[in-house]
Chains A and B, each alone.
Chain A
Amino acid sequence: MTVIEARGLRKAFGKTIALDGVNLRVDEGRILGLIGPNGAGKSTALNAILGLTEYQGELRVLGRDPWDERDQLMRDVCFIADVAVLPRWMRVSQALDYVGGVHPRFDRVKAEGFLAKTDIKRASKIRELSKGMVTQLHLALVMAIDARLLVLDEPTLGLDILYRKQFYDSLLNDYFDRSRTIVVTTHQVEDVQHVITDLMFINHGRIVLDCSMEEFESRYLEVAVHPERVTEARALKPIHERQVLGRSILLFDHVDRGQLAALGDVRTPCIADLFVALMGNKPGDHAGAAQGVAR
């Protein structure tokens, strides 16, 4: 079943084009990683999907028009926006009461169960919690909602590596199953490489790459080439080359694995390296791409 379907999605802010005819299709049971530099249009795309912004073109989320039916859509869709947006004056217990009061699919027992694994106290105000705890709380609230689509916009921004790891672990172990769908954008791409099932690069409002992770792994290969075989390797037209500790690392698209194995050590590239390869080379894009994969 298709959860998100967009055709010719466009959005402009004055003269700035944030989305330039995006086509996108996300099926049920997938975890899509939407990767792009700052200002590439990721957040705009997510906002359109969540009914937070108007757009041109065709967009259906769970069969609904998000802009016109946001409140109905939010019964089946949850999202965690880019920074901690939980109201700082609220108490943890009030957050549980309120979400339980307005959301027909919120399971309070489940949320309490998730919170029991953390150090978060019911009586604490959100402003008294650390950033990591606020994220844990938000995740507990969201995971206790029986939603079909979860949208995460930079959910782990500013968290240390332990919280980040824990975040994706609980998401995979306690929440995700084949009837749910997750869309996640992040700059911490190494965190999600083994989490996502589909990968999408977006830049200047356009989709630059759209493939499943199986496809990614079979299509892109990175070779640490033996020094004496560099010329031979370059003849195979790598899409990117970089130097690490004196060795040339070449990234290939659609080149036979056996052929490459003869040239050096072959491995699956990091998403970040492919990102740089696809977007970092074009003049004028350097700054954006470098920011995009900075951690």
Chain B
Amino acid sequence: MPRNLADVLHHFGPELAKPDAPEGRLAKKKTRPSSQPSSPQIVGVPIGDRDVVRAAFTWNLAVEVARLGGDALVISPDDVSPSPLWPQAGAGPLGVELRPTLAKDLKSLDQIAREAAAGARGGAEGGLIFVRIPPLWLNAGWEDCALLRWTLLFTSSKTSDLQDALKTARAIVQKQSQARVGITIHGAECRAEAETAFARIAQAARKNLGHDVQSYGLLVDALHVYRAIVAQRPIGLAHPQSPAARALRDVAQLLLTDALQGLP
């Protein structure tokens, strides 16, 4: 018969709490006291010049960050106007700004991103500055590059896409050993497929790069995503209850939470 620790407890501490003890049960949930605005964090997102889907994910994530109370800005080096990747430049839904730049290389883009971060007000829930990085520019990275401290890679669960993402991660961590490399899986048929895909790349990154990547959830390739791309309307506003919007919101929440915790 199990022996009750209460039998011997008097050797070690006080007796059972009285029912009216002030600390007897848990405190009720309280809302967080008003917090100071936090400086926005820069998130580099490697996106090719014609990669409309990843650009759409990024812009929609920025809108979701704003919906969650954060400050959001998208910076993209684009030398054609209007860009085929993005909606109209300037302030958009919920104040999310899309700011094209004429940066010609990673160094000038890094400088622009740093200045934007320094000038941004930040939000009570933090803020994020998404910066599109042309993938070829990654090779010019350096240890102190602000754009590489935190990056977000979108990949499907296909082996070829995971290999591409691993190559991109390699290019990043070779230049910046402490980089936080985030992975968001898109296009999976079910959550388990996304989990497996993330586990594969996490394992390969540790084995081949000696570096741990971080999970930033999954996104769905729903019809709403493609309609939103064509209509240039954020999914979270056009179809807020859609699975695509929920997934974007979840990823945005993960990003904001980590942004508030700061970079390692």
A and B assemble together: no
Q: Residues on B close to A: CB < 8 A?
A: none
Interface residues of A, Cβ cutoff 8 Å to B: none
